[in-house]
Chains A and B, each alone.
Chain A
Amino acid sequence: MTASDGHIYLLLAVAALLGLLLLWRLARRLRRGPPRRPGFFRRTGWPLGLFLVVMVGTWLIVMVVLPQLFMIDLSFRPRLPLAQMGGPRDIYTLQNYRYLLFGSTVSTESWNAVHLRALGLTIVSAMLITLFNLVLCYPLAYYMGQVAGPRGLRLLLLLLIAPYWLNDILRAFAFRILFAESGLLNAMLLGAGLLDRPIDFIGQNIALYACLTYAYMLLMLFPLYNALEAFEHSQAEAARDLGAPWWHIHLFVVVPAVKGGIASGCTLVFMLATGALAAPLVLSGTSVLWFTPIVYDRFYQVFNWPQGAAYAFALLAICIILVIALLRRLRLSLTDVVR
């Protein structure tokens, strides 16, 4: 048995334990709800129940948990030729993370300003995109969930969904055409006499923000719509009847009632925006801004998979911490968001 085999068995054991722990916590949390339903196995019968558990468990562990664990494991290893992997030089090291922070695998003298700035900017931009999306989608979702009739709603949904038949890359290039210096938007603004010189939307990254905002709009809209549709309209009317102006009703009655949907939409948009690849590649300005192309380059330009894994994992860890912080702030649990 080689050392790397040993690692695999250890990883499998850790993964299985983690999975069980997660399931147990989830089960405990779900059991806390007031209406007591018969147990899972009682409802499905044990052959079907066992089948479902094994299938879902296998899927989760083999397709989701294990690859991620391998990537995490990889991120703590040096870059080695294939022949030396599992050999005496294949040891655990922080050098990949050190490189992200300091731009060198050994020295800690100067910061890796380019990559760190890209990481910071990516996260801040993703937050802004999320916020902008929330501001954009809330009125729309409110209209859809509380005001629109069934016919208007169907039409609106069609109009919203149909553009997403376009794929990512195509949409990114379409935005390029729309926002280019000689593009449609500039031509219109110049033609209307609102501008003297065309605006460099792409160089200013405005095109990128617009494309990302649009790309993830539905992920914000649907959780919001879902929550707003369940909101009892007479509560808003009661607040109005008690003298509240419209902004007070939204801020203190509607938003608290739908904050689960808001958190759910924000989490989705934020996570996906930080991980977006196609749009930044096509639309980012001259200076390197987005972090994902850098990660991509680690894998396919530098061919340094351990470093790429470290970069990707660092991004994931920061995002998860931020999301959990947001949920804490909103006093929501993960189960509220999934609901």
Chain B
Amino acid sequence: MAAEVGIERLSVRYGPVTAVDDVTLTIGAGEFFSFLGPSGCGKTTLLRSISGFVEPTEGRLAIGGKDMRGIGPNRRPTALIFQSLALFPLMTVAENIAYGLRVRGVAREARRRRAERLLQTVALEGYGDKPIDQLSGGQRQRVAIARALAVEPEVLLLDEPLSALDLKLRQHMRNELREIQRRVGITFIYITHDQGEALTVSDRIGVMSRGRLEQVGAGRELYDAPETAFVASFVGEANMLAGTVRERHGEEAVLDSALGPLRARNPRGLLAGSRAVLFIRPEFLLPCAEGEPANRIGVRVAGLAYEGSATHVSWVTPAGEKLLSLLGPRDAAPPAPGGAAMLGFAAQDALLLPPQELAA
């Protein structure tokens, strides 16, 4: 059974340090939700306060509508998969998986059967009697998932569980995680600093920075309509051009930048005279003919990287700023490095956001 997780004005402070700062959010029952953010953004602290290892300084946390204040991690309907996995090295695979059942006084035979079923769920049939140190990284991963699922949690919490795996295995395991989540149907709360991972597995993502929840939405929303400069720079690649808003035109505004006036969408309604940063994704910044789009920038080619399906082009403006383009196979081929070109982008593809701390 899946449970909804309600987080209301939750803060965690350690002395003067605020690890989680006033987070409010509802994670739906059966949802695959990810917290995405750089290390130190408070996502692990938030996860640990959901699992019960950290008591929030302020705010309310409810799982399945039940207030969790004062309820220890051993009595919450959650199971946590640790970053280090924390498997018990002296127990076999089956003993590891059945540990939570043993605690609950389930009979040996029933434990054995349940462990076998779970080994099937994570595609590790026949591994029950193996010691942990004979398993590969990916297999250990699966054992940790099976061990957590064994106690039939309503919410499964995952703390960067794939970070120890190599790239290929990580990509494979994230699809598998998604698959397991669909099969068991419980709420998954996943923590990662890898935006690719978050975008591929999650129903919704919460982007965190410095303890605050910056934006919550589906991956596409975060990518297409970031609400803050942090989200725009952390999720996906973006070119950034700083300047001052000159004038507003309804939904759009004109920015005075080092490259001249540039027109872009203005979703936050920035007033004329305020500082702003213009974000334009590399795939929308394309070489153009004279007089086509609203915004044009004269540049030189700094470098090319051909990758088959796409070409990464880095440009340099007369002011020395670096810009990136991602050209598809049908786009006009860029000139050789050193050659001059005119780049353009449409106003509706660019965003103006107030400047703030950007992602590194």
Chain A: residues with CB nearer than 8 A to chain B? 232, 234-235, 237-245, 248, 252-253, 256-257
Residues 100-144 of chain B, each 1 if its beta carbon lies under 8 Å from chain A, else 0 = 101110000000000000000000000000000000000000000
11 CB contacts below 8 A, A to B, read A234-B83, A234-B84, A240-B74, A241-B51, A241-B52, A241-B73, A242-B150, A243-B100, A244-B99, A245-B103, A253-B88
Q: Is the CB of B73 within 8 A of A234?
A: no
B265 within 8 A of A: no
In the assembled complex, the Cα of A235 lies from the Cα of B36 at a distance in Å of: 25
Interface residues on B, range: 20 to 34
Q: Is the CB of A238 within 8 A of B82?
A: yes
Residue on B nearest A233 in the bound complex, by CB = B86
Q: Is the CB of B89 within 8 A of A257?
A: yes
Dominant secondary structure at the A interface: helix
Q: Shortest CB–CB separation between residue B114 and chain A, in angstroms? A: 13
Contact of B99 among A232, A237, A239, A256 (CB under 8 A): A239
B333 within 8 A of A: no
User: In the complex, what residues of B have CB within 8 A of residue A234's CB?
Assistant: 82-84, 86
* 4 nearest A-B residue pairs (beta carbon): A242-B100, A234-B86, A238-B86, A244-B103
Q: Is the CB of B72 within 8 A of A240?
A: yes
B204 within 8 A of A: no
B79 within 8 A of A: yes
Chain B contacts with A in 46-95, Cβ cutoff 8 A? 51-53, 72-75, 78-80, 82-84, 86-90
Residue on B nearest A236 in the bound complex, by CB = B86
User: In the complex, what residues of B have CB within 8 A of residue A245's CB?
Assistant: 74, 103
Whether A256 contacts B100 in the complex (CB less than 8 A), given A242-B151, A244-B74, comes out as: no
Known: A235-B88, A241-B74. 15 other contacts (CB 8 A): A232-B84, A234-B83, A235-B87, A237-B82, A237-B86, A238-B86, A240-B73, A241-B78, A242-B100, A243-B104, A244-B74, A244-B99, A245-B74, A245-B103, A256-B90
In the assembled complex, the Cα of A245 lies from the Cα of B148 at a distance in Å of: 17
Q: Which of B52, B75, B82 has the most CB of A within 10 A?
A: B82
Q: Shortest CB–CB separation between residue B148 and chain A, in angstroms? A: 8
User: In the complex, what residues of A have CB within 8 A of residue B102's CB?
Assistant: 252
User: In the complex, what residues of B have CB within 8 A of residue A257's CB?
Assistant: 88-90
Q: Which of A239, A240, A243 has the most CB of B within 10 A?
A: A243
In the assembled complex, the Cα of A244 lies from the Cα of B86 at a distance in Å of: 15
B300 within 8 A of A: no
User: In the complex, what residues of B have CB within 8 A of residue A253's CB?
Assistant: 88
In the assembled complex, the Cα of A235 lies from the Cα of B74 at a distance in Å of: 13
In the assembled complex, the Cα of A234 lies from the Cα of B74 at a distance in Å of: 14
Contact of A242 among B72, B79, B84 (CB under 8 A): B79
Whether A237 contacts B88 in the complex (CB less than 8 A), given A243-B100, A243-B104, A243-B151, comes out as: no
